[in-house]
Amino acid sequence: MTADLALRNVRIVDGTGAAPIEGDVAVTADRITGVGSAGPAAETIDGEGLTLAPGFVDVHTHDDGALLRHPGMEFKLAQGCTSVVIGNCGFSAAPAEVGAKDPSGLIGVPPDWSDLAGFGAALEAARPAVNAMALIGHNTVRSLVMGDERRAPTATELAEMRAAVATGIEQGACGFSTGLIYEPGRYSETDEVVELAAAAGQAGALYATHIRNEGDHLLQAIEEAIEIGRQAGAAVQISHHKAAGARNWGKVVESLARVDAANAAGADVTLDVYPYTAGSGPMAQYFNLDRLDPELAEVIRFASCPAFRPYEGRMATDIAAEQGVQPVDVIRQVLTAPDGDRTICIQFIIDEADIETNLAHPLMMVGSDGIPDLEGRPHPRLFGTFPRVLSRYVRDRGVLTLEDAVRRMTSLSCDRFGFADRGRVAEGQFADLVLFDAETVADTATYDDPKQEPAGIELVVVNGQIAYRSGDHTGVGTGRFLRYQPSYR
Ligand code: ZN
Ligand code: CU
């Protein structure tokens, strides 16, 4: 049999964590059809000196709308990412009210769908460059059912929300997500979340959470997440694990110990992290206008600021010094301006040592948490996350071996999020592949110049087709809307 594509003389890092082997890999249609030796092929690529791995999986994204607005997904594809998990932090494109304004501002596309099946159809019609798997978001569901009510749901509202989550899971979602610091999820008590997470747990799907507090009350929030998983009968994914704020740095050691203890006692908890010392998100959600936090204002940088475009890429402290005011005054000025609620900020709140502690944990995956607003100056994690792990934390710092880093970006993620037949270089798997130079692969995106594609990524294959080659996006658009396979986990 003649294969469609042969990648010859490559170093295969297969995604399982096993030691690399040298050889060829054959691809026919959308599958891997040979590993070791490839036989004849219609197209051959010589990968001498290069490493071939399964395509990277970004388990924490806000790409729901970007898949439709920017179907080329250049910022992900150029990193070697072939799949993304959308609907994180409680914000998902589905369910939705047709034509309604997205209350979070994170999706950025007026919906012409009402449920996940409809969103999936819109996504496939857009022919995105990468695959996507969806979570159903708590904030989204709660806004639809309860508006911005700051109270517990009635029994009827709770049943309606649970039905919405269950429908999403039936239509292929891999789980239920929360963002318990955000509007309106922050008004929920633990028992509301348990009830909704149980709709996921019942179907063998995940509970993924941006926990209620990542700073002073990190440990209580971790305990709440573990408890929700226990009561709901759901596996738990702790999103972007961190200890926020200088006085909390180092606490990740203790929160990881709590996760380990829970797992030893029968829980099923895993985590993800992004390799940067700054977070990013909708600024209006982090500040209370009645008492602006001066400590937080000190570490804020503007990413997207429709109200004051010249502020983009600048620290609030620098703008304040220039204007002879306090940083909190700059925050107030922005938040009270028209469109101020659409500001995306970057906040420098994380300790470098904590990133290494996180990455060393065996159940830690990689998720960018990038916010795909390309108009301003986004956090560089949108363009650099995966190459940064391979360059800084594998090659420079030696925190992980290459095989182990690839495992956390591929098989671990696919097994956890229910991607059937993906995440390994093995015969019969879907041909999602990345070919890169392990000696030169590196992120080049910086806070000042964030929209830069990484170095050292040579070739990216999505469902058997070449989507990226030596800096060129081929535009084949072979990404798929994937449905969770519960038996797979
Ligand atoms: Zn989050
Ligand atoms: Cu997020």
Same domain, 16 and 106: no
- For residue 333, the number of C-alpha atoms closer than 13 Å in the C-beta half-sphere is 15
Please report whether residue 11 resides in a domain.
yes
Same domain for 144 and 251?
A: yes
Closest Cα to residue 139, out of 191, 99, 98, 192? Answer: 192
User: How close is the Cα of 208 to the center of ligand 1, in Å?
Assistant: 10
**167 and 233: one domain?**
yes
Q: Are residues 250 and 189 in the same domain?
A: yes
Beta bridge partners of 472: 469
Centroid of ligand 2 to alpha carbon of 88 (angstroms): 5
Separation of CA 239 and ligand 1 centre (Å): 7
If asked whether residues 381 and 232 sit together in one domain, one would say yes
Ligand nearest to the CA of 185: 1
Strand pairing partners for 31?
28, 430
Cα of 335 vs centre of ligand 1, distance in Å, is 20
Q: Residue 135: nearest ligand to its CA?
A: 2
Helix (DSSP H) and strand (DSSP E) numbers for the chain = 15, 20
Q: What CA–CA distance (Å, rounded) separates 371 from 376?
A: 11
- CATH number where 315 lies: 3.30.1490
Choose the final residue of a domain: 346, 366, 382. 346
Number of the ligand closest to the Cα of 211: 1
For 451-477, give one letter per residue: b (16+ CB within 10 A) or e: eebbbbbbbbbbbbbbbbeeeebbebb
Judge if 305 and 411 occupy the same domain.
no
**DSSP letter at 247?**
G
Alpha carbon of 92 to ligand 1 centroid (Å): 12
pLDDT score, position 352: 98
Rounded to the nearest angstrom, the distance between the alpha carbon of 51 and the centre of ligand 2 is 30
**Which listed ligand is nearest to 372 at the C-alpha?**
2
In this structure, the answer to whether residues 61 and 148 fall within a common structural domain is yes
Shared domain for 187 and 277, answered yes or no, is yes
> What's the gap in Å between 421 CA and the centre of ligand 1?
28
DSSP string, 163-205: HHHHHHHHTT--EEEEETTSTTGGG--HHHHHHHHHHHHHTT-
Ligand nearest to the CA of 62: 2
CA 104 to ligand 2 centroid distance, Å:
12
CATH assignment at residue 469:
2.30.40.10
pLDDT for 104 = 78
pLDDT digits (tens, 9 = 90+) for 180-232: 999 999 999 999 999 999 999 999 999 999 999 999 999 999 999 999 999 99
CA of 193 to the centre of ligand 2 (A): 18
CA–centroid distance, residue 152 to ligand 2 (Å): 24
State the pLDDT at residue 108.
86
What's the CATH number where 166 sits?
Answer: 3.20.20.140
Q: How far is the CA of 329 from the centre of ligand 2 (A)?
A: 27
Q: Residue 485: inside a domain, yes or no?
A: no
DSSP string over 209-234: EE-S-SSTTHHHHHHHHHHHHHHHT-
In this structure, which ligand is nearest to the CA of 371?
2
At 105 the pLDDT is 80
> Are 458 and 310 contained in the same domain?
no
Q: Which ligand is nearest to the CA of 106?
A: 2
pLDDT in the model for residue 489:
45
For the record, the structure tokens of 180 come out as 């318990």
pLDDT at position 488? 52
Rounded to the nearest angstrom, the distance between the alpha carbon of 60 and the centre of ligand 2 is 6
Q: Which residue segment(s) compose the domain that 466 sits in?
A: 3-54+424-441+449-475
Q: How many whole angstroms from 89 Cα to the centroid of ligand 2? A: 5
Q: How far is the CA of 217 from the centre of ligand 1 (A)?
A: 16
Mark the ranges of the chain whose per-residue pLDDT is less than 50: 489
210 C-alpha to center of ligand 1: Å?
A: 5
Number of compact structural domains in the chain: 3
